């Protein structure tokens, strides 16, 4: 009876919320919620009895782990009531969500991004969700510890599926240690707009590279018995007006770029969830876009998990349900009482609701959260720190090294000037829902700038014990230049901060950091610039400095990794996963498309009726994304896609191509230098002229580790899809017959080996 009373109170809130206007809803419902919350204080529907959690009943035939996830889900579904089904297709709120009153079971949450009620009488647990792009978010709020991995873009610079796997495994283990059973990481939006404030959360500009890496990351994260997620589906490629923007793109361009990355990732990871995006795509919002959710994701790709909305990204009940949305987050404006009423009125078939519920249940069994109940524990802090250190060492890209300035010879360096804002405090991290709390510091705000200890100054003091290491913030360029002039080496740490919810105004370093570099380089030609960025930056000073290291947002052990590379204990092996243009004028869209007056805000999210996008971005560059744009338009770049230096040298020889169902490519890589190192050997293909494609595309790569003087033969099998085009006439992939040119080398613009192959 108590269960029914609490459910009735919750449903009254939902019905009233549907009638109240957005402008008055929060104030009116806040008062109404107090009475409802009083019920929750003593007993929670389904989940608590006499102040204690009700244990899940595990004595059921579907608890037999030898059965398939589909069999188990079907058995549970038959036993569920309509109310229990509705509970599984929406969230129950999250701390601080501003737009709605929270439902009356907040104590059941784990302090993360939200939760979905379980069915204890049937042994189905609550799904506890946390943001976890490069580490578990908001750990300080619940007194826990989280390791910050390098930002996702930084990890992509490793070009290493094994490093991506290690990255995901750390996050998966720490999610479980904190009591979470679902990640909301897995970003794979292609970098069409490098000023996008979430570029650091994604995996770069090439769909094959991005899809492969995020697929391996999420596969290994999900292997820790948490529900995996891949997002934001699809073309959520800018933050400006993200709730109202309509991304316009032709089908072929869509399938060969943004959607190809998702297709590869879904195929590798088999994730439990895919998150639909805020933006509209070709006129339909991502979370009610039938082409995306049902036609492509579920039918063509065979995705078996559930589609979860981005937070507040649901705009309708009947339309979204029919399109293939399975779970609304973080609340139940559309998939709570409104969905129940639609089912009872026959507007949404019961079979359609059952399909949503079945997918959620199947995912819980598939990902192991039923068979491996959540139990908080202590993470392997030292082991995880060792992993993040190793990943960052493989992710920092050496962009310039004039005259072999690096690595620094410890014995010869007597004084080092460390210059730059916060270089005595820590290293920059990315903000928004990806933000990881720094250890020993309060939980960061939504868009706070967070610097991860230890500081570069401390790391360099430890690495160069015989040198005098002095710090200057650079606030006064004359003071910074004077310190640089009196030192053997000057190392300038500069940053570019990014966050969800905003885009960058440009690709320049902020707060006059270019001026600091100019002044220091003029005073000391042995100036090294360390970049802490989440995307590309312009470098007007590039010809004046001795060396440049792109460290990205480097994670919990970033300063140590940078010191290890500068010192030479680690030989850099990373390469750029995105192009660095010379200026914004060279971008496909030099001016960032912004919403106009009256087109921005939260109107589309707040509206209870059918919402429409208010402005559009037309991606008329089509197939020409990233390096494909610069190749096709013959634009010179600052640093090309796939570029990165090493402390040794490599040569290529002996290219052979064997056409077939999967085209075989083999060649030899030799380390011609004097020390061991890793080379990312990249394979590109130019399609026949009649294919109508950009000049070349990445089709494969291999990261090869070689001792000094060592040679290895590399053999790759190229997936036929990577050599194909998407044919709109047949609505499928097609290999264009003709002459293909296979190119191999160390970057997209350094390809010494070429061979022709006739493919049919």
Which residues are catalytically annotated? 310
User: Which tokens is 676 given?
Assistant: 């061991």
8 A C-beta contact, residue 659 and residue 684: no
3-state secondary structure 131-181: CCCCCCCCHHHHCCCCCCCCCHHHHHCCCCHHHHHHHHHHHHHHHHHCCCC
SS3 457: helix
* Nearest CA among 198, 258, 314 for reference residue 625: 258
User: What b-and-e string marks burial along 469-491, b requiring 16 or more CB atoms within 10 Å of the CB?
Assistant: bebbbbeebeebbbbbeebebbb
User: Which tokens is 612 given?
Assistant: 């429409």
Q: What is the DSSP letter of 200?
A: G
Q: Exposed (0-12), middle (13-18) or buried (19+): which is 164, by Cβ within 10 Å?
A: buried
DSSP line for 360-390: HHHHHHHTTTTTS--------HHHHHHHHHH
Element housing 515 (H / E):
helix 513-523
User: Which tokens is 195 given?
Assistant: 């000023």
Residue tagged 């991506």 (tokens) = 164
Phi, psi (degrees; rounded to nearest 5) at 623: -70, -15
SS3 357: helix
C-alpha torsion sign, points 430, 435, 439, 440: positive
Q: What radius of gyration do the chain's Cα atoms show? A: 26
User: Which tokens is 304 given?
Assistant: 């078996």
Alpha carbon distance 164, 160 (integer Å): 6
User: Which tokens is 55 given?
Assistant: 């244990």
SS3 465: coil
User: Which tokens is 659 given?
Assistant: 């056409």
Alpha carbon distance 142, 139 (integer Å): 6
Alpha carbon distance 169, 386 (integer Å): 13
Alpha carbon distance 231, 329 (integer Å): 14
8 A C-beta contact, residue 285 and residue 279: yes
User: What's the CA dihedral at 56, 60, 63, 68 to 10 degrees?
Assistant: -130
Q: Strand 732-734 to strand 725-727: parallel, antiparallel, or no bridges (unpaired)? A: antiparallel
Phi, psi (degrees; rounded to nearest 5) at 285: -55, 145
The count of C-alpha atoms lying within 13 angstroms of the C-alpha of 278, restricted to the half-sphere facing its C-beta, is 22
Q: Strand 489-495 to strand 415-419: parallel, antiparallel, or no bridges (unpaired)? A: parallel
């Amino acid at each position: 009876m108590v269960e029914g009373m609490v459910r009735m109170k919750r449903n009254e809130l939902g019905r009233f919320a549907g009638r109240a206007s957005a402008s008055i809803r929060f104030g009116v419902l806040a008062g109404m919620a107090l009475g409802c919350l009083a019920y929750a204080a003593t007993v929670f529907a389904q989940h608590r009895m006499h102040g204690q959690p009700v244990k899940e009943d595990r004595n059921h035939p579907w608890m037999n782990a030898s059965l398939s996830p589909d069999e188990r889900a079907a058995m549970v579904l038959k036993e569920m009531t309509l109310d229990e089904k509705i509970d599984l297709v929406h969230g129950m709120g999250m701390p601080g969500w501003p737009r709605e009153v929270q439902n009356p079971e907040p104590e059941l949450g784990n302090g993360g991004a939200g939760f979905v009620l379980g069915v204890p009488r049937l042994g189905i647990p609550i799904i506890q969700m946390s943001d976890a792009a490069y580490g578990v978010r908001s750990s300080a709020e619940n007194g826990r510890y989280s390791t910050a991995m390098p930002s996702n873009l930084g990890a992509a610079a490793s070009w290493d599926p094994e490093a991506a796997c290690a990255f995901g495994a750390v996050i998966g283990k720490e999610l479980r240690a904190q009591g979470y059973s679902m990640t909301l990481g897995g970003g794979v939006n292609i970098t069409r707009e490098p000023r996008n404030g979430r570029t650091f959360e994604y995996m770069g500009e090439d769909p094959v590279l991005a899809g492969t890496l995020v697929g391996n990351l999420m596969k290994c994260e999900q292997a820790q018995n948490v529900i995996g997620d891949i997002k934001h589906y699809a073309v959520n490629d800018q933050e400006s007006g993200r709730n109202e923007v309509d991304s316009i793109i032709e089908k072929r361009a869509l399938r060969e770029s943004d959607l190809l990355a998702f297709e590869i990732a879904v195929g590798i990871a088999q994730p439990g969830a895919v998150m639909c995006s805020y933006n509209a795509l070709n006129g339909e919002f991502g979370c009610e876009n039938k082409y995306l959710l049902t036609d492509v994701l579920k039918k063509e790709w065979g995705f078996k998990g559930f589609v979860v909305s981005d937070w507040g990204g649901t705009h309708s009940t009947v339309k979204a349900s029919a399109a293939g949305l399975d779970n609304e987050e973080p609340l139940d404006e559309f998939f709570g009482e409104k969905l129940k009423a639609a089912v009872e009125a026959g507007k949404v078939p019961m079979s359609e609701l059952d399909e949503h519920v079945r997918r959620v249940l199947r995912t819980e069994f598939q990902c192991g959260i039923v068979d491996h109940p959540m139990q908080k524990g202590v993470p392997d802090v030292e082991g995880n720190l060792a992993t993040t250190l190793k990943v960052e060492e493989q992710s920092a890209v050496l962009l310039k090294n004039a005259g072999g300035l690096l690595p620094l010879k410890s014995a010869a360096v007597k004084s080092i000037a460390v210059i730059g804002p916060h270089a005595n405090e820590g290293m920059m991290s990315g903000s928004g829902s990806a933000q990881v709390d720094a250890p020993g510091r309060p939980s960061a705000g939504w868009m706070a700038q967070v610097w991860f200890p230890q500081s570069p100054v401390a790391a360099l003091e430890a690495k160069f014990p015989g040198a005098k290491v002095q710090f200057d913030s650079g606030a006064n360029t004359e003071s910074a230049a004077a310190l640089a002039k009196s030192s053997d080496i000057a190392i300038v740490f500069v940053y570019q901060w990014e966050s969800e919810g905003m885009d960058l105004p440009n690709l320049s370093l902020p707060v006059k950091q270019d001026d600091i570099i100019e002044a220091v380089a003029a005073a000391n030609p042995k100036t090294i610039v360390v970049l802490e960025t989440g995307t590309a930056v312009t470098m007007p000073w590039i010809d004046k400095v001795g060396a440049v290291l792109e460290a990205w947002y480097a994670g919990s052990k970033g300063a140590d990794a940078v010191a290890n590379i500068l010192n030479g204990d680690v030989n850099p092996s990373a390469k750029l996963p995105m192009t660095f243009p010379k200026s914004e004028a060279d971008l496909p869209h030099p001016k960032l498309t912004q919403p106009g007056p009256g087109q921005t805000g939260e109107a589309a999210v707040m509206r209870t009726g059918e919402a429409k996008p208010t402005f559009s971005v037309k991606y008329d560059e089509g197939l020409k994304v990233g390096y494909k744009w610069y190749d096709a338009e013959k634009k010179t770049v600052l640093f090309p896609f796939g570029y990165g230096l090493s402390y040794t040298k490599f040569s290529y020889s002996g290219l052979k191509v064997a056409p077939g169902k999967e085209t075989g490519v083999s060649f030899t890589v030799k380390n011609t230098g004097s020390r061991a190192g890793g080379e990312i050997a990249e394979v590109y293909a130019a399609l026949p002229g009649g294919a109508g494609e950009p000049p070349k595309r990445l089709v494969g790569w291999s990261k090869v580790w070689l001792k000094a003087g060592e040679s290895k033969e590399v053999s790759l099998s190229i997936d036929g899809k990577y050599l194909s085009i998407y044919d709109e006439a047949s609505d499928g992939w097609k290999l264009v017959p003709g002459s293909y040119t296979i190119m191999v080398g160390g970057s997209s613009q350094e390809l010494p080996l070429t061979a022709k192959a006739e493919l049919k």
